[in-house]
């Protein structure tokens, strides 16, 4: 089983308006609300691929009920812990006129020590040897930045593979515990190493350096330049695909979901990265927080080119 953790879930509210004016009155043409947060998006992509996962995390209030109800309707298993207050709402403004995508995100609600301990007890009471754990996204400000690192250590003791998708101190502390896979984008990689990474060769060098921390697979997203997968014995490069972009929300989460699914299914690294790129590309062709469909993913897969370095 794949388990996903979202400590900072949200309702992603997308509005579409043309010719967005700052300091002016704007009237939007369309709106949509989706259960969001990186781990939840990962679970949604796994579901679209035909796999199963259980989404865990902390939700609260009427927004929390909305998230659970939407996942129920989609047929996605979940075991959330109830927190205080109300889960946040993130606003996504899409302007087709100027081809802009603006995120206005609320700060995550604090999680009490009691709720966090309850979530941790739930998580490590159900995962077992051979499972996959996805730790994704930010945490509320009152949660220690070493939480992913601590959970990675416990998971590894249970022989659970951990996929980590985070940034800043969360990523740094997590790396020190040696997750199975990390997926930084180029900006997260630069922040992690405190250096500019301009070329493919530089990105590959950085990926190889990170393997020294007992990480088995490093996947580096480079936006329109594609992505790079680095393991102990392979370096794979997949060039970016040129497609019409409707929303960038969930693109990275889609790749993580596809990678988790591929690992559970025993795919080769080549098959895994192709599926990851196809899933991410399919998602950016959808509006709002909608994950790419299986039908479109399969079509895109046939166009993905992979190069071994």
Helices (H) and strands (E) in the chain, counts: 10, 15
For the question of residue 253 being annotated catalytic, the response is yes
Query: Which tokens go with 278?
Result: 């196809």
Report whether 34 contacts 57 (CB < 8 A): no
Question: Is the sign of the CA dihedral 225, 293, 1, 82 positive or negative?
Answer: positive
Whats the size of the chain, residue-wise? 309
User: Taking the CA of residue 1 as centre, how many other CA atoms within 13 Å lie in the half-sphere pointing to its CB?
Assistant: 13
Catalytic residue among 103, 131, 253, 302: 253
Using alpha carbons, select from 77, 76, 53 the residue that is nearest to residue 263.
Answer: 53
Of 71, 55, 74, 206, nearest to 135 (Cα)? 55
Q: By the 8 A CB rule, do 309 and 207 touch?
A: no
Is the Cβ–Cβ distance between 43 and 257 less than 8 Å?
yes
- Cβ–Cβ < 8 Å for 17, 66: no
- Active-site positions read 253
């Amino acid at each position: 089983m794949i388990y996903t953790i979202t400590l900072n879930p949200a309702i992603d509210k997308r509005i579409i308006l043309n010719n967005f004016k700052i300091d002016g009155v704007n009237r939007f043409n369309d709106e949509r609300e989706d259960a969001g947060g990186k781990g939840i998006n990962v679970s949604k992509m796994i579901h679209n691929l035909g796999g199963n996962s259980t989404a865990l995390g902390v939700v609260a209030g009427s927004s929390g009920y909305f998230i659970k109800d939407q996942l129920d309707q989609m047929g996605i298993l979940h075991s959330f812990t109830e927190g205080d207050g109300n889960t946040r709402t993130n606003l996504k403004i899409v302007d087709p006129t100027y081809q802009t995508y603006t995120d206005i995100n609320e700060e995550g609600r604090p999680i009490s020590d009691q709720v966090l301990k309850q979530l941790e007890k739930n998580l490590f009471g159900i995962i077992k040897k051979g499972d996959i754990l996805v730790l994704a996204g930010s945490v509320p400000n009152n949660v220690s930045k070493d939480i992913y690192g601590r959970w990675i250590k416990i998971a590894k003791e249970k022989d659970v593979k951990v996929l980590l998708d985070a940034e800043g101190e969360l990523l740094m502390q997590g790396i020190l515990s040696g997750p199975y896979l990390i997926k930084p984008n180029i900006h997260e990689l630069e922040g992690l190493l405190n250096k500019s990474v301009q070329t493919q060769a530089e990105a590959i060098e950085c990926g190889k350096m990170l393997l020294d921390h007992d990480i088995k697979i490093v996947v580096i997203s480079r936006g329109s330049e594609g992505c790079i997968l680095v393991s102990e014995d392979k370096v794979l490069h997949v060039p970016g695909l040129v497609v019409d972009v409707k929303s960038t929300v969930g693109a990275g989460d889609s790749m993580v979901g596809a990678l988790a699914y591929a690992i559970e299914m025993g795919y080769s690294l080549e098959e895994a990265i192709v599926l990851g790129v196809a899933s991410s590309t399919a998602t950016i062709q959808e509006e709002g927080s909608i994950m790419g469909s299986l039908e479109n993913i399969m079509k895109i897969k046939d166009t993905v080119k992979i190069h071994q370095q």
